[in-house]
Amino acid sequence: MTILLKNVSVRTAMTAVGESIGCTWRFSDGKLVFTAIPGATKGPRAPRGGSGGPAQPSDTEARLENLLSAPLTLDLNDAPIENTFQLMAEILGGTLEMDESLRGKMITIESTGHPTRDLLDRLCHMAECRWELVPRTVPIFRIRKP
């Protein structure tokens, strides 16, 4: 996914991001919350595997692999790291679990068309943390101190 917006309001930018991942957004208790739009797709889906032969990845694992490999453009200036990781969790269709010690850090990054996985690695390098994605029906996106 690539979204390039210039000279637009935050509301317009968040609406564009939300629509691109099949979500609406709102603020709730000081947090940015994305909610899936019923019937909307969030990204490429892998075909369901058949019986027999080698083990096939689950639909969730295949979808996550597609999303992690997809190119993503992100341009942030002094953005709260928790909001950035929450956005990444929403893009991946998961829930965020993040070490409290990381909250309050600010991040500045400009990345154009790099795989989402590489962007996550770069964000974690900058924030001195590591990321893990646990494939479940609703994946868990974990951010921890090393």
| Distance (Å, whole) CA 87 – CA 51 | 36
Average of per-residue pLDDT values in the chain? 76
For residue 75, the one-letter residue type is: D
The CATH number of whichever domain residue 122 belongs to comes to 3.55.50.60
Is a pLDDT exceeding 60 seen at residue 48? no
Structural domain that includes position 118: 58-144
Q: Is residue 79 part of a domain?
A: yes
Per-residue pLDDT, 94: 84
* Nearest to 115, CA basis, from 78, 47, 65, 79: 65
Q: Is residue 95 part of a domain?
A: yes
The SS3 of residue 29 is: coil
Per-residue pLDDT, 44: 38
Residue 95, H or E segment: strand 95-98
Number of domains the chain contains = 1
Q: Is residue 65 part of a domain?
A: yes
89-103 confidence digits (pLDDT tens)? 888 888 899 999 999
Tokens representing 89?
């969790």
Q: Is residue 85 part of a domain?
A: yes
